[in-house]
Amino acid sequence: MKLDGKRLWRSFGYAWQGIQQVIKTEQNMQVHVFAALLVIGAGLYFRITVFEWMILIVLIAGMWSLELINTAIEKTIDLVTEEYHPLAKKAKDAAAGAVLVYAIASVIVGGLVFFKYIF
């Protein structure tokens, strides 16, 4: 299989556009970006360990990725129907639930990372 560099580069461009437009248009994503900047600032301030940075990076990347997927699901459903449909509600609420589960876990794990520095 031959690697098509141009095509690969173009795909990165589309992915980057996707991230940019979700940050621009989705309020929830803006909250996640703000929270990530706050956490990174706190990490630098408290000089956390490399292992702690690894945990925070996984949490931040996971949160952003889930929000991107949630937005993709929401947009796809809106494209399929603008009418009220119980399945549309189930799908959107399940996707939002996935984001919530990870957000709660992130707050707990992030709290455990910073606990010893703050108290």
Ligand X SMILES: Nc1ncnc2c1ncn2[C@@H]1O[C@H](COP(=O)(O)OP(=O)(O)OP(=O)(O)O)[C@@H](O)[C@H]1O
Contacts of 81 (CB under 8 A, 6+ apart): 88
Q: Which of 72, 85, 100, 104 binds ligand X (CB under 6 A)?
A: 85
Q: Does residue 76 belong to the site contacting ligand X (CB under 6 A)?
A: no
Interface mask toward ligand X for 28-67; x: CB under 6 A: x---------------------------------------
Q: Does residue 79 belong to the site contacting ligand X (CB under 6 A)?
A: no
Please tell me which residue in 52, 67, 74, 82 is annotated as part of the active site. Answer: 67
| Dist. CA 58–CA 68, nearest whole Å | 15
Would you tell me which residues interact with ligand X (CB under 6 A)? Answer: 26, 28, 74, 81, 84-85, 88-89, 92-93, 96
Active site residues: 67
